[in-house]
Structure 1
């Protein structure tokens, strides 16, 4: 790679020095200015932004607390009721508000400053943890208390999710957005590795109440981070005035942009049918491999490790392309199919790492590509639709996938999710290629690219009469 002067400037034709005037004393013409070298981007480039550094540090703490509460909450419900169905009800209550009210959360996120909204939502989420801690530590907790807190947390998340997603670009700008989205995912997956382990120790040693207490206190970190941000460095966007029809306006906006609607459709299918790992991993652990809770925990750890690796690789890559999204989604489905028929435990466990990696690549690529293709004034509504489709499908897909798994076995349940994911990726890929004027080219000759999308050949205007004849 050239590193000399002008390496970054556009190439110019060679000139003949004999044609250049050489009048003595004549001033030399100034050399044309070279284009500034682009800023080098790396795996953690978005952390150069002070506001985002503070935000990410706060999220590390609160995400760890959130994972602690998830484990402690499920264990508390199981201890109070002895019912796995009750644990499922708790999960459904936490995700149901996103399915029913997600779009309204996006409207609110577009109407108000994102930083102000996050101060309220993060505080409210911390208070739910503290309330559950007080009930548990005092010995007065009942299962309906846990249900109520899970539902309240879900309602707050309806506003928190789109506001937090849309706030990222205000901190880092569009150039660093893909990297920041990837690091957010890496942040969450890192907490997924640490939080459950800490929660397990706390539950065993002193009970679930202390896990709830630490989760509530953990939200001090993101709230303090939001207060310490330099508002002058934020790329604030104009809020949308309140008026009728804003929800329909957001839906029409998404429906009219193929680069938005088809990635959202794809993550909807994958989130609803391809991400039901709690169902499949418990079934494989108990029914297929006849192991215990330790094995189940190890499988979850392998999945989380793959997801973390996928998020970091996405951060290093930076760019978000739709062909990467479709390719990662297709491989994700294919590997799920392969894992479902794995004859040995070690092979099944090993496949969970690339499955986690490709699942995270799909999620991160879709998230950043949708945000970059969205007008800032619409970003809250678009991201609320994205999160509603991705997360809100859980109460719909999980019971169906669970029924298939119970009725036909763990392998059939897992392969169903893989087939749906792979077929959805192929269908969306073909649709995007058609919209983009591309066609699939297959060339089996040696030394050639065997499969690729190439532009369709459009006949020139003067050729049309001949073609018609």
Structure 2
């Protein structure tokens, strides 16, 4: 394998990668269709923020417990369970949308249910990566390829979803997502983890939870990475929740333009993932994150001020690029610094910072946009993100800072 794809030399990772490629495309199709359906039923920025809040707040509430479970039990079996439950959720969405019975209450409830599943699924997927590669030195590449995989799906899924929704409706997107889970389930059944691929901490659950929190708080590099990811998720990531308003009300488009705009951000993220996958080691990665984090805020503000799609589309490409450098770069720094005994719990904290904090941002930004307007809200969020990124940059370049 070329250096860019070196993690694919491992049989388990190749199989897992192939299954995730199909499943994640379906996941993005469902996410876009769900947001568009919520907007079509309500026409409200507040409802869009509430759906985003409901889908991710369980990760903030239950994510730490999910990390304790991840460190205690067989990760492959945990993923088989969570992926099967996610398939059931997608089928329920498809049935409601197909029968024309879906309401905003249904969408909020099902989004919450999926969030509960993800509170265990996401940290388990993060923690299993180290066990899928035969050579520990390939772990940074595997993390970058995971990010690349997600952003390939993010680039393709929204664009497909926009056309599918416009042609045949949201129900087909939900049904295609349910079918896509078969690929990852078959992949999980095919992989074989090494005998030492799971660890069972002897400490009781609450003590194990406290130990994980103390470990992360006491490690300067991990603590800084978690803080910048949480800040980015709260202030910058919610721009996606407001995308339907930009597509329809500001730029005068439909579901196809919505999918295209999200796809532009996905294309930028794809470029960022490609860059990270091609890196050798983690030297200079903290400095790179220190540049990307404030650039994320600047891109959010520029997108908010875009007078038309001719400016919005390239800005979204840049925004997708710098967000992935910030988040995936921080993920790589954490994964290469964490002790394996704490991997599940620390990756649960990363999941909480990335996905668990996001609902608070979605709800807050959606509420502020409803009260004060979309553009002023996003400009303010962008400027605050710039400030947070500059603080991280100063700390990451201080003498003695972990790089």
TM-score by length of structure 2 reads 0.89
Give 1:141 shift: 4.7
Please point out which of 145, 150, 160 is paired with 1:188: 150
Q: Does 1:179 align with 2:141?
A: yes
Aligned length, in residue pairs? 398
Measure how far apart 1:340 and its partner are: 4.7
The correspondence for 1:61, drawn from 22, 26, 45, is: 22
Q: 1:367 aligns with which of 331, 340, 353?
A: 331
**What's 2:90 paired with?**
129
Residue 171 of structure 1 contacts residue 235 of structure 1 at CA under 8 Å; is this kept in 2? Answer: no
**Whole-angstrom CA distance in 1 between matches of 2:247 and 2:337:** 41
Deviation string, structure 1 residues 307-350 (Cα, Å, up to 9, x no partner): 11111111111433212221221332334445555566533432
CA 1:124–1:357: 2 relative to 1, 3 Å: same
Whole-angstrom CA distance in 2 between matches of 1:434 and 1:207: 53
The aligned runs of 1:325-364 (5 Å cut-off) are 325-341=289-305, 345-364=309-328
| 1:267 aligned residue | 229
For residues 72-116 of structure 1, give each alpha carbon's deviation from its aligned partner in whole angstroms, at most 9, with x where no partner exists.
323444455565543433222111101111111111111112111
Cα 1:355–1:84 change in 2 (3 A) is closer
**Higher mean C-alpha displacement, 197-206 vs 423-432:** 197-206
Summarize deviations over 1:262-309 as a string: whole Å, max 9, x none.
11001111111012222554555566x543235444322221111111
Q: Secondary structure at the match of 1:132?
A: helix
The unaligned stretches of length 5 or more in structure 1 are 1-39, 439-452, 454-469
* Among candidates 227, 233, 253, match of residue 292 of structure 1: 253
Contact 1:332 1:355 in 2 (8 A): yes
Distance 1:218 1:297, change over 3 A: closer
Query: Greater CA radius of gyration, 1 or 2?
Result: 1
What is the alpha-carbon distance in structure 1 between the residues aligned to residue 251 and residue 54 of structure 2? 31
Matching of residue 94 in structure 1 with residue 55 in structure 2: yes
* Cα contact 2:55–2:111 (8 A) shared by 1: yes
Q: Is the 8 A contact 1:113 1:239 kept in 2?
A: no
User: Distance in 2 between the 1:185 and 1:295 partners?
Assistant: 24
Q: Which residue is equivalent to 1:466?
A: none
Higher RCO (CA 8 Å, separation ≥ 6 residues): 2
RMSD after superposition: 2.7
Q: How does 1:12-411 map to 2 (within 5 A)?
A: 42-81=3-42, 83-138=44-99, 141-172=102-133, 173-232=135-194, 236-243=197-204, 244-279=206-241, 281-282=243-244, 284-285=246-247, 290-293=251-254, 294-320=256-282, 321-341=285-305, 345-411=309-375
1:435 shift after superposition: 6.0
Classify 1:142/1:437 alpha carbon distance in 2 versus 1 (closer, same or farther; 3 Å). Answer: closer
Distance in structure 1 (CA, Å) of the matches to 2:6 and 2:81: 29
Taking structure 1 as reference, are residues 143 and 295 closer, same or farther at Cα in structure 2, changes over 3 Å only? closer
Deviations 1:123-154 (A, max 9, x none): 11112112333444455555444333221111
Asked if the contact 1:199–1:211 (Cα under 8 Å) also holds between the matched residues in 2, the reply is: yes
CA shift, 1:389, in A, is 1.4
Q: 2:36–2:244: 8 Å Cα contact kept in structure 1?
A: no
- Aligned CA distance change for structure 1 residues 302 and 434 (closer, same or farther; 3 Å): same
Stretches of structure 2 lacking an aligned partner (at least 5 in a row): none
How far apart are the structure 1 equivalents of 2:39 and 2:394?
45
Q: Does the residue aligned with 1:299 lie in a helix, a strand or coil?
A: helix
Residues 330-372 of structure 1: per-residue CA shift (max 9 Å, x gap): 3323344455555665334322222211111111110011011
Structure 1 CA distance for aligned equivalents of residues 401 and 180 of structure 2: 50
2:104 and 2:361 map into 1 onto residues whose CA distance is 25
Question: Using a 3 Å threshold, how does the CA distance of structure 1 residues 401 and 202 change in structure 2: closer, same or farther?
Answer: closer
CA distance in structure 2 between the partners assigned to 1:55 and 1:274 by the alignment:
30
